[in-house]
Amino acid sequence: MNTIRNPILPGFNPDPSICRVGEDYYIATSTFEWFPGVQIHHSRDLANWRLLGRALDRVSQLDMRGCQNSGGIWAPCLTHADGKFWLVYTNVHHHMGAVVMDTPNYLVTADKIEGPWSEPVFLNASGFDPSLFHDDDGKKYIVQMQMGEAVTSVRFDGIILQEFDAQKMQLVGAPKKIWPGSAIGITEGPHILKRDGWYYLITAEGGTALRHAISVCRSKNLWGPYELHPQNPMLTAFQKDQLNLKSTGHGCFVETQNGEWFTVHLCHRPLQRTGRLVLDREENKSVPLGRETCLQKFRWDADGWPRLAHGDNSPRDTVEVNLPAHQWPEENLRDDFDGSKLNIHFQTLREPVAASWCSLRRRKGWLSLRGRDSLASCFDQSLLARRLQHFKASAETCVSFQPVNFKQAAGLIAYYDRLHYHYFRITSAGAGKIKLGVISSENTKASRLEIAELPLSAGERIFLRMENNFAELHFAWSLDGKDWTQADRVFEATMLGDWVSPHSNFTGTFWGVCCQDISDRTAWAEFDYFEYRPAN
């Protein structure tokens, strides 16, 4: 037996869809406004996972310029049939502050999980969270939630089904609502599984916060009517304060080659301080790591309904699986920027890396970023970052930057969205001088801590470091990488997470490097390395 420890994908890996091909398991997760789109992880034992890559790596597949915080990729679905991989996804253009949402859905395919993935086929825009069901008669169907109009107060208008013609690569016939949802409400994230003549509809309900749940219903007819699980929901952490895994829901089932069954699902782990869960904003309520992916084992009972293997509907921190352990080589969490490719963990905001603003060739052994828009922009941000995946961790870089005016800045950033960040930056202090300081933004309020003023020549090489200890974020700097000076303020890490931002609640904290030039976009900042160090 092998032990699975939850979460299996820590730090901003939400809305998991799992797919087995032989002895290989793949999980696709949402990436929202971060590019490339759709993270794909790989495992052979369900316990040890590696980041394999991302499916949507060009603008023709994923155009997110201008999308809102927490827009972009929502709830992809990964399946394998007919000798190839199928991936359906939503590219959310707009989801806040209007009567309706803009949620175009697309399909891409690939012969190999590593890609290349095809050009997208447009499906529809009537809702989000589409999944593709391959029936055993060869027919295929798109199942998704249907979005209503806000003015009618029916935002989540049940689950709809429509046939998909794989030869013509288009939807055919008319969509039909097959299930209105249970009394839990906010019905989304549907998947269909066929077993022993039954069609099982698995959905997410309760909203992706503390009320989240996996609901299951079934029918002998694909088009319904569907009956609800007698002990619904199948999984939830709602009103179970003793649990470490909160907000559990959004499930997708998989059977191992040994006949065991598991469901992936997302969770939150609220910020912990000295071993005590911190659950409300007055006590620094926050989920800086975002929504993560977990696994639970379940069984099929004699009545044909799935139930968690341990007997109740609460998530467990550890689960046993009857598969031999398969470890992957240890990940390299430091990028010295000596090669031709960036570390796989790096992503950018809304658009792919382009040589015009991000280069590994401009200065050998360094990453060069050309300053563009401010951090508030939904367009041209020169920012490269990776997920924060641990409650205790540090990051370090060495930057070479000599700004000539106060509209040019570069440095190290802890980023949640365009209005929530702590930015340890270098900027101009006037003729022949630069200054170090931290800009903190929470919603529309900003604060500034100036740390040091230095001669312009010091900008040739400055070391920057940040360290996170649960709710506390510390910054330090050095001119030689040996003797460090720590900023005399402790920064609040709790504002970088779900449940805090009124503008986005679906991603997680990213750490990285960035550069801005809102004067003439000519300033380049160069970074010698970036290293992420987990402490737990």
The separation between the first and the last C-alpha atoms of the chain, rounded to the nearest angstrom, is 25
- Euclidean distance between CA atoms 6 and 16, whole angstroms: 14
Which residues make Cβ contacts (< 8 Å) with residue 165, sequence separation at least 6? Answer: 140, 171, 172
Which residues make Cβ contacts (< 8 Å) with residue 310, sequence separation at least 6? Answer: 297, 316
Closest CA to 291 of 91, 39, 21: 39
- Euclidean distance between CA atoms 41 and 62, whole angstroms: 20
- What the block records as the tokens of 501 is 């931002």
- The question of whether 520 is a catalytic residue gets the answer no
Q: What is the 3-state secondary structure (H, E, C) of 278-346?
A: CCCHHHCCCECCCCEEEEEEEEECCCCCEEECCCCCCCCCEEEECCCCCCCCCCCCEECCCCCCCCCCC
- What the block records as the tokens of 486 is 């720590």
Burial class of 148 by CB neighbour count within 10 A (0 to 12, 13 to 18, 19+): middle
What dihedral do alpha carbons 126, 127, 131, 137 form, nearest 10°? Answer: -30
Burial class of 514 by CB neighbour count within 10 A (0 to 12, 13 to 18, 19+): buried
Question: How far from chain centre, in Å, is Cα 292?
Answer: 8
- Euclidean distance between CA atoms 230 and 289, whole angstroms: 34
Which of 33, 188, 205, 396 is labelled catalytic?
A: 188
- The question of whether 188 is a catalytic residue gets the answer yes
What dihedral do alpha carbons 32, 35, 41, 47 form, nearest 10°? Answer: -60
Q: Which residue has the tokens 């360290």?
A: 467
- Euclidean distance between CA atoms 256 and 321, whole angstroms: 9
Which of 15, 33, 57, 442 is labelled catalytic?
A: 15
Closest CA to 287 of 471, 483, 486: 471
Q: Which residue has the tokens 């801005």?
A: 516
Please provide the DSSP assignment of 118-182 as one string: PPPEEEE-B-S--EEEE-TTS-EEEEEEEE--GGGT-SEEEEEEEEEETTTTEEEEEEEEEE---
Catalytic residue numbers? 15, 188
